[in-house]
């Protein structure tokens, strides 16, 4: 019986021809797929080869060392005699300048409006929901055009004299159609001997914080007040300030001379428009992320906290936000990525970001494929690094849950 | 024993109660309320003054100039000149599409409207399930019909002379880009999602790489690729116009995002569904087409609508590659000599149109979510 059944199954198995054997079919399907993909790829590359041959070109990155012979008036210093490689670097730095400031400000705006959206005050929650709906339902490029052409470029001119025509905010911060001029800290000669103190303060703060966290983990109660950390962080540079001759940092205040502002830091109107536009746009999306995260915390949590006599502010800070963060972080990562990618709209208003510089490089050099690959590589590595950093943050926050 | 029912205090119910509960529950709540009121007053006063009280509505360019000069002389800020929008309304809508052929756009809109009403009506009543299939066929047929209607046959044709896609512009181009983009990218997205979940490693690696690469770069680089790289990587015999190339770019881009949405739906289907489909003897293709995909897609309809809205907003990026969609036309209008300095009016009008479409879609999706009970499950 056993013998005959196994003979039967063997006969059956033997009877399955290889073209109906699922294992063989799977391998064949993949081989066919790979061949088709490779064939299409080869065909495309062949077309590219003949395109190159027609123009007597070869695929190479040697043009990067050549003189760019165009000017870039934004970000780190650049002269027309600098190389293409330097021009690309200028673009990358400008994109990072926009993205880093944008991410910080958009997070703050999103947090505030997201919390305001859930406020028990009817007016506050409706104002923020009007903001969120208006911004989320109009294209970013329209907003950027509006901000740049209809708001920033329509600001009053910058003119010196008895009456400064620019909008002046305390500081002094001058807002005009030339952009924004504001005071800035500038390192002086003695900064070189002062910055080790700054580093020491940072190290001390980190060490104290981790000691404190360890104390909390062991006994459930911090071994010393948080104020000590703040004190250490402030005291060490202050001692350094007294020890080092002269002031290591000087407050540089902008002064209007003629039609220009000098001193301080001056942000171009394009930079202001792009950063502001990205902050307002992404802030609305982050607000929705924050709202969803807060609503994901069960109501009982805040009710229990209220019953124990926590104030509304304490409930938000100590009970709701720490739990909401776990829900918030993953979609927040994708908003940060979106902000970075959306900064490529800079070209629409003439800000010289990575994409805008690359397209100038491309028009000058005619190296279409080479420059395209550089753009892709730059954006992909930026996206990957943001994901990496935020995933580490995410993992640390999720561990708390146990 | 009679107990007299005491009325609740006047400050707890009615208008006063509402005010106290929602606006003045604590002292800082009251402060917030007063601050918000001041803010609303300031914004509304500015907006109404600019957009209505001081604005001019005449199509005559001279009226606007006089009003601006008068305001400048008085040292005040000038109001809006809505004349620029009123004069150019047709330009915003259809751009350079020939005027004598604009009936074709109206007929196309009519077809869509009739189909939409039919769909709504038939889906509402329970006893017309048989007619649903015909509505779906109608929608599918409407695409080629409208394409032919808008584009025409050839230059010499008497009935429908050719209107090349190069001169499609304004809101018309925006809608064409958005609709064709979503319709073309969705099937591609479903295939990519299936590929990414496939057990065949070669297929899986390819689809994952495609999706992650596209999602890691901005749309503008993809549009750039479609404009500059397509002609290089395709033989000189194959050439298409800028609009078609932009569509290829938007489709390739949007497909990666659709794929991730569909994949989310696929992941939510319990394994039992696959096993049951196999048990009743369906092969893999039928199992996917009849059992898994319909459920998966239904689960992620809100996400798909969200994707459609962002694609609709992203169509504005074609301005950067030189196409004249609604935003491109707006930019062109503000560049004209007689409308110099009227950026606010024009861009606000464009923003309003984009807002109406996306807001309608997002509130539609919210209602769909409620009726399908997606949120509850």
- The residue of chain A with its CA nearest to that of B213 is A380
pLDDT at A168 exceeding the cut of 50: yes
Q: Cβ contacts (< 8 Å) between B220 and chain A: which residues?
A: 344-345, 347, 355
Residue of B nearest to A135 (CA): B355
For B321, the token pair is: 């590659």
**B315 DSSP assignment:** G
Is the predicted pLDDT of residue A255 greater than 60, yes or no? Answer: yes
Task: List all residues of chain B from 225 to 284 with a beta carbon under 8 Å from chain A.
Answer: 225, 228-229, 232-235
Give SS3 for A245: coil
Asked if A369's CB is within 8 angstroms of B229's CB, the reply is: yes
Considering CB atoms only, which of B327, B343, B355 is closest to A150?
Answer: B343
- Of chain A, the end-to-end C-alpha distance in Å amounts to 56
Q: Give burial (CB, 10 Å; 0-12/13-18/19+) of B192.
A: buried
Identify the three-state secondary structure at position A261: strand
C-alpha A112 chain-centroid distance: 19
Tens of pLDDT along B122-151? 877 777 777 878 888 888 898 888 888 888
Confidence band (pLDDT; 50, 70, 90) for B376? very low
Are A199 and A207 a contacting pair, CB within 8 Å?
A: no
> What is the C-alpha to C-alpha distance for residues A154 and A146, in angstroms, rounded to an integer?
11
Strands A249-252 and A260-262: unpaired
CA distances from B131 to B116, B126, B150 (A): 14, 11, 28
Helix (H) or strand (E) holding A255: strand A255-257
Assigned token pair, A74: 């934004």
A-B Cβ pairs (cutoff 8 Å, strict): 152
Minimal Cβ distance to A348: which of B221, B320, B330: B320
Q: What is the pLDDT of residue B375?
A: 44
Q: Which of residues 170-199 of B touch A (CB under 8 A)?
A: 199
Question: Which residue(s) pair with B81 in the sheet?
Answer: B56
Identify the CATH homologous superfamily for domain A84-145+266-399: MetI-like (1.10.3720.10)
Tens-place pLDDT, residues B176-196: 999 889 889 999 999 999 999
The stretch B112-119 carries a mean pLDDT of 89
The b/e string for A209-239 (b: 16+ C-beta within 10 A; e otherwise) is eeebeeeeeeeeeeeeeeeebeebbeebbee
What was the pLDDT predicted at A300? 92
pLDDT at A163: 65
Between A293 and B68, residue with greater pLDDT: A293
What would the two tokens of residue B9 be?
A: 């205090």
Q: Check residue A66 and give its pLDDT.
A: 87
- Identify the CA nearest to B355 among candidates A130, A336, A280: A130
CA-CA distance, A292 to A118, in Å (whole number)? Answer: 10
A window 374-393, beta carbon within 8 A of B: 375-376, 379-380, 383-384
Per-residue pLDDT averaged across B231-251, rounded? 88
- Beta carbons of B268 and B234 less than 8 angstroms apart: no
User: A206-244 pLDDT, tens per residue?
Assistant: 888 888 888 877 877 777 777 888 888 888 888 888 887
Domain borders along chain A are: 19-55, 84-145+266-399, 185-252
A 221-280 residues inside an 8 A Cβ radius of B: none
Higher-scoring residue by pLDDT: B368, A182: A182
Q: In this complex, do B36 and A121 lie within 8 Å of one another by their Cβ atoms?
A: yes
For the ranges A154-163, B259-268, B298-307, which has the lowest average pLDDT?
Answer: A154-163
pLDDT band of B262, cuts 50, 70, 90 = very high
Residue A137 has pLDDT above 70, yes or no: yes
Predicted confidence band of residue A134 (pLDDT cuts 50, 70, 90): very high
List of residues 6+ apart from A372 with CB closer than 8 A: A362, B221, B224, B225, B228, B229
What does the block give as tokens for B218?
Answer: 């901005």
Best residue in A121, A369, A382 for a mutation probing chain B (most B CBs within 10 Å):
A121
Count the neighbouring beta carbons within 10 Å of the beta carbon of residue A83.
14
DSSP A330-380: HHHHHHHHHHHHHGGGGGGGT---HHHHHHHHHHHH--HHHHHHHHHHHHH
- The pLDDT of residue A13: 56
Q: How confident is the model at residue A111 (pLDDT cuts 50, 70, 90)?
A: very high
Residue of B173, B150, B151 lying closest to B317 (CA atoms): B173
Q: What is the DSSP letter of A67?
A: B
Q: What is the pLDDT of residue B59?
A: 79
Say yes or no to pLDDT of A164 above 70.
Answer: no
Residue B319 is predicted with a pLDDT of 93
User: Cα–Cα distance between A212 and A47 in angstroms, integer?
Assistant: 64
User: Average pLDDT, whole number, for chain A?
Assistant: 86
pLDDT for A7 beyond 90 = no
The C-alpha angle with vertex A317 and arms to A313 and A319, in degrees rounded to 5, equals 105
B257 CB burial (10 A radius; 0-12, 13-18, 19+):
buried
For residue A360, what are its two tokens?
Answer: 């100038």
Which whole number is the average pLDDT over B296-305? 86
Helical spans, DSSP H, in chain B: 14-22, 27-48, 61-73, 83-87, 89-94, 103-124, 129-151, 170-196, 201-216, 219-224, 230-233, 242-267, 271-279, 284-286, 293-299, 301-314, 326-334, 343-372
Q: Give the mutation candidate from B210, B355, B359 for the A interface (greatest A CB count, under 10 A).
A: B355
Max intra-chain CA distance, chain B: 101
In angstroms, what CA-CA distances link A310 with A193, A220, A306, B62, B262? 47, 19, 5, 64, 44
d(CA A48, CA B236): 11
d(CA B148, CA B111) in angstroms, rounded, equals: 13
Tokens in use for A266?
């001056």
Residues 341-360 of B with CB under 8 A from A: 341, 343-344, 347-348, 350-351, 354-355, 358-359
Q: At what angle do helices A122-136 and B27-48 cross, to 10 degrees?
A: 40
Residue of A nearest to B362 (CA): A137
Establish if A139 touches chain B: CB-CB under 8 angstroms.
yes
CA angle B65, B329, B248 (to 5 degrees): 170
Dihedral pair phi/psi, residue A176, rounded to 5°: -150, 180
For chain B, give the mean pLDDT. 87
Q: Is the dihedral of CA B97, B103, B107, B109 positive or negative?
A: positive
* Percent of chain B residues past pLDDT 90, beyond the cut: 39
CB A75 within 8 A of CB A97: yes
pLDDT of B269 above 50: yes
Task: Record the tokens describing residue B324, joined without a space.
Answer: 């004249």
Residue A65 contacts residue A322 (beta carbons within 8 Å): no
Task: Say how far apart CA A343 and CA A340 lie, in whole Å.
Answer: 5
Is the Cβ of B317 closer than 8 Å to some Cβ of chain A? Answer: yes
Is A380 close to B217, i.e. CB distance below 8 A?
yes
Q: What is the pLDDT of residue B372?
A: 67
Window 26-45 of B: residues touching A by CB (8 A cutoff) are 29, 32-33, 36-37, 39-40
Measured distance CA(A160)–CA(A174) in Å, rounded: 11
Q: Does residue A94 register a pLDDT over 90?
A: yes
Q: What pTM was estimated for this model as a whole?
A: 0.87
Using a CB-CB distance cutoff of 8 angstroms, which residues of chain B are in contact with residue A359? 224
Q: And the tokens for B339?
A: 């409308």
User: In angstroms, what separates the C-alpha of A122 from chain B's closest C-alpha?
Assistant: 5
Q: Do B221 and A379 touch (CB under 8 A)?
A: yes
Confidence of residue A42 (pLDDT cuts 50, 70, 90): very high
User: Are B221 and A134 within 8 A, CB to CB?
Assistant: no
Span B205-215, pLDDT tens digits: 999 999 999 99
Q: What percent of chain A has pLDDT over 90?
A: 41
Q: Which residues of B touch A47 (CB under 8 A)?
A: 232-235
Instruction: Give the Cα separation of B118 and B141 in Å (integer).
Output: 15
Q: Name chain B contacts of A376, Cβ cutoff 8 Å.
A: 213, 217, 221
Mean pLDDT along residues A279-299: 94
From the CA of B100, how many Å to the nearest CA of chain A?
A: 30
Mean pLDDT score, B158-164: 80
Tell me the pLDDT tens digit for each residue of B2-48. 556 777 776 677 788 888 877 887 888 888 899 999 999 999 999 99
How would DSSP label each residue in B25-79? SSHHHHHHHHHHHHHHHHHHHHHHIIIIIS-B--S-HHHHHHHHHHHHHTT----
Looking at residue A155, what DSSP letter applies?
A: S
Question: Measured between CA atoms, how close is A252 to chain B, in angstroms?
Answer: 34
Q: What are B322-341's pLDDT values in tens digits?
A: 899 999 999 999 988 888 88
Instruction: Inspect the interface and report whether the beta carbons of B234 and A47 lie closer than 8 Å.
Output: yes
Alpha-carbon distance A36 to B203, whole Å?
12
pLDDT band of residue A161 (cuts 50, 70, 90) is low
- Cα separation values, A50 from A43, A57, A63, Å: 11, 10, 20
Q: Using the beta-carbon criterion (under 8 Å), do B355 and A137 form an inter-chain contact? A: yes
- State phi, psi for A181 to the nearest 5 degrees: -115, 130
**Burial level of A190, CB count in 10 A (0-12/13-18/19+)?**
middle
Per-residue model confidence (pLDDT) at position A276: 96
Band (pLDDT 50/70/90 cuts) for residue A114 is very high
Distances (CA, A) of B26 to A121, A292, A319, B29, B32: 10, 26, 21, 5, 10
A142, A379, A380 member nearest B316 (Cβ):
A142
Q: Predicted ipTM? A: 0.89
Contacts of B230 (CB under 8 A, 6+ apart): B245, B248
Query: Which residues 269-328 in chain A show a CB within 8 A of chain B?
Result: none
Query: Which of A38, A118, A141 would best serve as a mutation to test chain B binding (most B beta carbons within 10 A)?
Result: A141
Q: Which residue of B47, B80, B220 to mutate against A (max A Cβ within 10 Å)? A: B220
Q: pLDDT band at residue A64, thresholds of 50, 70 and 90?
A: confident
**Quick one: pLDDT at residue A401?**
47
- Reported as type and span, the H/E element at residue A173 is strand A173-176
- Whether A380 and B232 lie within 8 Å, measured CB to CB: no
* pLDDT tier, A96 (very low <50, low <70, confident <90, very high otherwise): very high
pLDDT reported for residue B15: 81
Compare CB distances from A146 to B317, B319, B347 and report the shortest one's residue.
Answer: B347
Q: Is the pLDDT confidence value at A351 over 90? A: yes
Which of the two residues, B298 and B127, has the higher pLDDT score? B298
To the nearest whole angstrom, how far is the Cα of B355 from the nearest Cα of chain A?
5
Query: What is the dihedral sign for C-alpha B165, B171, B175, B177?
Result: positive
With CA atoms as reference, report the closest residue to A141 among B342, B225, B310: B310
CB A270 within 8 A of CB A349: yes
Rounded to 5°, angle at Cα B19 from B14 and B22: 115
């Amino acid at each position: 019986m056993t013998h005959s059944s196994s003979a039967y199954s063997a006969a059956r198995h033997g009877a399955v021809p290889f073209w109906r054997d699922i294992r063989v079919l799977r391998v064949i399907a993949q081989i066919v797929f790979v061949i088709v993909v490779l064939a299409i790829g080869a065909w495309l590359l062949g077309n590219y080869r003949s395109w190159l041959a027609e123009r007597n070109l070869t695929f190479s990155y040697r043009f990067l060392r050549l003189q760019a012979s165009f000017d870039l008036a934004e970000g780190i210093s650049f002269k027309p005699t600098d190389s293409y490689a330097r021009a690309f670097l200028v673009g990358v730095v400008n994109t990072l300048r926009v993205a880093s400031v944008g991410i910080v400000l958009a997070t703050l705006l999103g947090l505030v409006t997201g919390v305001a959206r859930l406020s028990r005050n009817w007016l506050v929650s409706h104002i923020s929901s009007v903001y969120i709906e208006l911004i989320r339902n109009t294209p970013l490029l329209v907003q950027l055009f509006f901000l740049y052409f209809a708001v920033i470029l329509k600001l009053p001119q910058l003119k010196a004299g008895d009456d400064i025509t620019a909008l002046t905010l305390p500081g002094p911060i001058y807002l005009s159609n030339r952009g924004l001029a504001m005071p800035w800290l500038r390192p002086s000669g003695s900064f070189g001997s002062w910055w080790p103190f700054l580093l020491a303060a940072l190290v001390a703060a980190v060490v104290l914080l981790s000691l404190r966290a360890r104390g909390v983990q062991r006994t459930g109660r911090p071994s010393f007040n948080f104020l000590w950390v703040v004190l250490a962080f402030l005291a060490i540079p202050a001692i350094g300030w007294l020890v080092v001759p002269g002031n290591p940092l000087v407050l540089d205040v902008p002064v209007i001379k003629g039609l220009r502002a000098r001193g301080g830091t001056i942000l171009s109107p394009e930079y202001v428009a792009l950063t502001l536009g990205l902050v307002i746009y992404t802030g609305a999306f982050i607000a929705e992320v924050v709202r969803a995260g807060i609503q994901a915390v069960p109501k009982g949590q805040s009710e229990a906290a209220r019953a124990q006599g926590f104030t509304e502010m304490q409930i938000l800070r100590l009970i709701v936000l720490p739990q909401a963060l776990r829900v918030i972080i993953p979609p927040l990562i994708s908003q940060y990525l979106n902000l970075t990618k959306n900064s490529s709209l800079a070209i629409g208003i003439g800000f010289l970001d990575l994409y805008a510089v690359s397209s100038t490089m491309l028009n000058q050099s005619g190296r279409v494929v080479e420059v395209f690959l550089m753009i892709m590589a730059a954006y992909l590595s930026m996206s990957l690094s943001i994901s990496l950093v935020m995933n580490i943050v995410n993992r640390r926050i999720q561990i708390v849950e146990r | 024993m009679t107990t007299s029912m005491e009325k609740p205090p006047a400050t707890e119910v009615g208008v006063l109660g509402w005010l106290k509960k929602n606006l003045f529950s604590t002292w800082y709540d009251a402060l917030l309320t007063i601050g918000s009121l001041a803010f609303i007053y300031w914004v509304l006063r500015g907006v109404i003054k600019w957009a209505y009280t001081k604005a001019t509505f005449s199509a005559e360019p001279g009226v606007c100039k006089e009003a601006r000069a008068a305001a400048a002389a008085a040292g005040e800020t000038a109001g809006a000149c809505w004349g620029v929008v009123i004069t150019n309304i047709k330009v915003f809508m259809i751009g350079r599409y020939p005027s004598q052929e604009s009936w074709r756009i109206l007929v196309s809109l009519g077809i869509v409207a009739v189909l939409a009403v039919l769909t709504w009506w038939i889906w509402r009543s329970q006893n017309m399930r048989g007619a649903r299939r015909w509505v779906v066929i109608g929608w599918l047929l409407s695409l080629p019909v409208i394409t032919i209607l808008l584009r025409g046959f050839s230059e010499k044709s008497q009935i429908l002379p050719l209107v090349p896609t190069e001169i499609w512009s304004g809101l018309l181009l925006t809608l064409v880009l958005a609709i064709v983009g979503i319709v073309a990218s969705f099937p591609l997205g479903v295939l990519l999602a299936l590929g990414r979940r496939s057990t065949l490693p070669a297929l899986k690696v390819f689809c994952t790489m495609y999706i992650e690469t596209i999602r890691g770069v901005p749309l503008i680089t993809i549009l750039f690729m479609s404009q500059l790289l397509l002609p290089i990587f395709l033989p000189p015999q194959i050439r298409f116009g800028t609009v078609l190339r932009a569509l290829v770019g938007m489709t390739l881009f949007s497909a990666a995002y659709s794929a991730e949405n569909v994949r989310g739906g696929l992941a939510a289907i319990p394994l039992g569904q696959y096993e049951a489909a196999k048990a009743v003897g369906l092969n893999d293709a039928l199992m996917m087409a009849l059992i898994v995909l319909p459920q998966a897609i239904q689960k992620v309809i809100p996400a798909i609508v969200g994707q459609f809205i962002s694609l609709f907003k992203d169509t504005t990026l074609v301005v950067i590659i030189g196409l004249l969609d609604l935003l491109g036309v707006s930019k062109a209008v503000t560049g004209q000599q007689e409308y110099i300095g009227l950026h606010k009016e024009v861009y606000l009008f464009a923003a309003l149109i984009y807002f109406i479409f996306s807001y309608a879609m997002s509130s539609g999706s919210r209602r769909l979510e409620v009726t399908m009970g997606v949120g509850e499950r």
